[in-house]
A and B are shown apart, each in its own frame.
Chain A
């Protein structure tokens, strides 16, 4: 191994070992965007203060995410002797002081908050981590350090096998590295699945100089946060992946483009890059190998199409972030018109694994056609919103039922979106499809970048289409009329439908639009109406009911429902009137009434006075049977 790197790793191991065996108990709080949303910074502060006040000899630190996002803040507690580590969940600020007293002063465990035993023997009630239902069947390779290391300490990464893949890369030729990546079968994780090794080879063989690498950390798909988990929990993995790519392609400068909405990921990547420079892992003559590579962490400013690779490069270049026509491809003309390779965070993050353990090991995780593991985040009307890493090929049902914990109480699965607003939607009957690229392509859609969203019977497909097409419209860069005009037309039609003005001709018009938008320049426009296309295929009845019967089976479209007083004698009616943001609930000499012109159908009144107000169909037949809408 490269001598300089060897000594870095040795020193990091020594300091990590010394820390692990220093005889002090260790309490580590997950600080990531999901845990911060539940007050993890407060939890950490209270734990630190309590420890200081009580004079407890303990190491208090931070970790990244274990993927149990719905149980944040998560905390690990390791005993002084290091014989046992327990992962706890829901250690919210109000519980933090008592929690830390119990684990550190009284030396007990807190079974009611315990998730699993990470290290050491299991005892009654607390399962070993690998046997936790959320972890069974997960294969954590990319996430091997997530929740275990301090993401702001490069030594933790180096001590646990970090930069060994890069060390191996330094001993190979660029061609050999690319062959290894090609042999692994790694496909791009940003949604396209294009072989990463081939892309690297395009850049390697490009003749112009200088060459650039770009890491696409724009992760604009709402409902996807896999890249965020990696950057916030193990940022060095991404840097090491880019270094391997630099060695393979001859690029000397790289950019990590991080979306504006991820300030913590931005800050963590900056810290990680600074530490890599300090250790001589970035900059000139890296570890004496002759390799030069500079890495710049770049912050976006709120634009979905900047996740499209040419839009992203326009954005770095300082122009409006508008995608442009390909070819030329980035490997021919990218940043500043120079050869450039763009990969997703997760694509780069796989390279250290491939170079460290070999292509054969990497691809042997399953016999699915798509190789390697993939991270997914699960969200929607489910019980457990979290992040998993699994081999390709598992049925979506398993993701929902085992990892997502099933649908929420009272919710029945109506359908799901495999990955991103452009990917399309499928009905519940397709829940046994595997997570793999082909089945979605065959259906005229795509698997996407990892954010799977499950929706229930209370979700209107017309409303979902309105949201996803509205998103595509808002985020259209405006270059092609097909895209910006087409999405606008589609949204108008969908909004009119939801308002009760649907016409028989609307479905044909929407279908015509789905055929027109494929003529847009970039994939944003080409896929903007995928959801509509699939919805018209699988949920056509629902559109027909909305248009012809002016009735919404989900009972939510605001133009098709009406609120009315259900019980004049309900004592909570004054509270309902009080919460109404538009003062639509009024008391007249004939009793309480809801002024329909004022009512915005927000439903706050039904929350405070469930028995007093009900939802009815706006265009109900006089003696209609009670419907789903009324029953809700």
Chain B
């Protein structure tokens, strides 16, 4: 369910404040992602031109980072905490259960674009472990069964 990509003109406007050689690449990519939820393909060339660099360098830098997305976000984005306390308290079994319930590997998007599963990093909310983030909100102190029920509700669209 790919949303229409924004026009080049719109993208140029969006990144017009950024300048070459001022550490503006990541801020420009963030601005695009904050606006559209991902980095549309055409934005790479627009940013490269604005920053007087090459699309290869922009793409190369962008793909170094786990949190720049090249895929439009799903309606429900689930991130599974891969961190140590979550793991010590059974988090890896939650991952197994989520992957099988949703039929997706980490990094996968459902075909209809309704949900996606990502790997998340510990942000120090370990007192809620084991946990997942659903559209950025912590759902914590999960049992594996809780996680399966949650994933089923999301899968069923409830």
Interface centre among A255, A380, A558 (most CB of B within 10 A): A380
| B129 contacts across to A, CB distance below 8 A | 379, 385
- Give the residue name and chain of the B residue nearest to A470 (CB): B82
A467-B87, A602-B97 are contacts. A386–B127 as well, Cβ < 8 Å?
yes
Q: Are A37 and B96 in contact (CB under 8 A)?
A: no
Query: Closest Cβ of chain B: how far from A106's Cβ, in Å?
Result: 30
Cβ 8 A contact of B122, one of A223, A320, A581:
A223
**Given A261-B121, A303-B64, A336-B21, are A379 and B144 also a contact pair (CB < 8 Å)?**
no
Chain A residues with Cβ under 8 A from B149's Cβ? 579
Count of chain B residues near A, Cβ 8 A: 52
Interface check B76, CB cutoff 8 A:
no
Q: Give, as a whole number of angstroms, the nearest-CB distance from A108 to chain B.
A: 28
Q: Of the listed stretches A44-52, A91-99, A505-513, A603-611, name the one at the interface; the rest are far from the partner chain.
A: A603-611
In the complex, residue of chain A having the shortest beta-carbon distance to the beta carbon of B86: A222
Whether a CB of chain B sits under 8 angstroms from the CB of A43 is no
> A231 to B138, alpha carbons, bound, how many Å?
20
B5 at the interface (CB under 8 A from A): no
Q: B134 on the interface (CB 8 Å rule)?
A: no
> B100: CB under 8 A from chain A?
yes
Given known pairs A581-B97, A604-B148, the reply for A379 and B85 (CB within 8 Å) is yes
Residues of B within 8 A of A320 (CB): 60-61, 64
Tell me which of A189-197, A451-459, A485-493 binds B.
A451-459
Contacting pair A38 B128 (CB below 8 A): yes
Task: Name B67's closest neighbour in chain A (CB-CB).
Answer: A302
Q: How many angstroms from the CA of A69 to the CA of B88 in the assembled complex?
A: 18
Instruction: Choose among B24, B27, B85, B144 the residue that contacts A603 (Cβ–Cβ < 8 A).
Output: B144
State whether B83 touches A222 (Cβ < 8 A).
Answer: yes
Establish whether residues B65 and A301, one from each chain, have CB atoms under 8 Å apart when the complex forms.
Answer: yes
Is the pair B23, A255 in contact by a Cβ cutoff of 8 Å? yes
A222 partner, pick from B61, B84, B92, beta carbons under 8 A? B84
Report yes or no: A316 in contact with B121, Cβ–Cβ below 8 A.
no
A334 within 8 A of B: no
Known: A581-B101, A607-B143. A223 touches B84 (CB 8 A): yes
Point out the residue from B64, B89, B148 that lies within 8 Å of A321, measured CB to CB: B64
Question: A262: which of B93, B120, B123, B143 is its contact (CB, 8 Å)?
Answer: B123
Q: Is the CB of B88 within 8 A of A301?
A: no
Closest to B79 in A: A261
Q: A298-B23, A302-B67, A320-B64 are in contact. Are A463 and B123 (CB under 8 A)?
A: no
Q: Report if B8 contacts A (CB, 8 A).
A: no
Q: Across the interface, do A603 and B126 meet the contact criterion of CB distance under 8 Å?
A: no
Q: Which of A299, A377, A463 contacts B27 (CB 8 A)?
A: A299
Interface residues in A429-463 by Cβ distance below 8 A to B read 453, 455-456, 458-459, 463
> For the complex, what is the distance from the CA of A455 to the CA of B89, rounded to whole Å?
9
Please indicate the chain B residues that have their CB under 8 angstroms from the CB of A222 in the complex. Answer: 82-84, 121-122
Q: How far is the CB of A298 from chain B (nearest CB, A)?
A: 7
* Shortest distance from the beta carbon of A494 to any chain B beta carbon, whole Å: 13
A134 interface residue, CB < 8 Å from B?
no
0 or 1 for each of B52-94: is its CB under 8 Å from A? (1 = yes): 0100010011001111100000000000001111011110111
Q: Is B140 an interface position by the 8 A CB rule?
A: yes
CB <8 Å contact, B26 and A318: yes
CA distance A386 to B120 in the complex (A): 21
Closest B residue, CB atoms, query A600: B96
Query: CB distance B96 to A301 under 8 Å?
Result: no
Residues on A with beta carbons closer than 8 Å to the beta carbon of B144? 602-604, 607
Contact of A301 with B122 at beta-carbon distance under 8 Å, contacts A320-B61, A321-B65, A467-B87 already known: no
Q: Chain B contacts of A602 at CB under 8 A?
A: 93-94, 96-97, 100, 144, 148
Jot down 25 A-B pairs with beta carbons below 8 A, ordered by A. Answer: A34-B127, A36-B138, A72-B127, A220-B121, A222-B82, A228-B123, A298-B26, A299-B27, A300-B65, A301-B65, A303-B65, A316-B23, A318-B53, A319-B57, A377-B124, A386-B127, A421-B84, A467-B92, A579-B148, A581-B101, A582-B100, A602-B97, A602-B144, A604-B93, A604-B144
**A-B interface, 10 closest residue pairs, ranked by CB to CB distance from nearest:** A225-B124, A318-B25, A302-B67, A302-B66, A301-B65, A222-B122, A37-B138, A320-B64, A385-B127, A379-B126
Known: A228-B123, A385-B85, A581-B100. 19 other contacts (CB 8 A): A33-B123, A38-B128, A69-B127, A223-B83, A223-B122, A223-B124, A296-B23, A299-B30, A318-B23, A318-B25, A318-B57, A322-B64, A379-B84, A381-B85, A421-B84, A455-B88, A602-B148, A604-B97, A604-B144
Q: B residues near A, CB below 8 A? A: 21, 23-27, 29-30, 51, 53, 57, 60-61, 64-68, 82-85, 87-90, 92-94, 96-97, 100-101, 120-129, 131, 138, 140, 143-145, 148-149, 151
Taking beta carbons and an 8 Å cutoff, which residues of A are in contact with B?
A: 33-34, 36-38, 69-70, 72, 220, 222-225, 228-229, 255, 260-262, 296, 298-303, 315-322, 335-336, 377, 379-381, 385-386, 417, 421, 453, 455-456, 458-459, 463-464, 467-468, 471, 477, 558, 579, 581-582, 600-604, 607-608
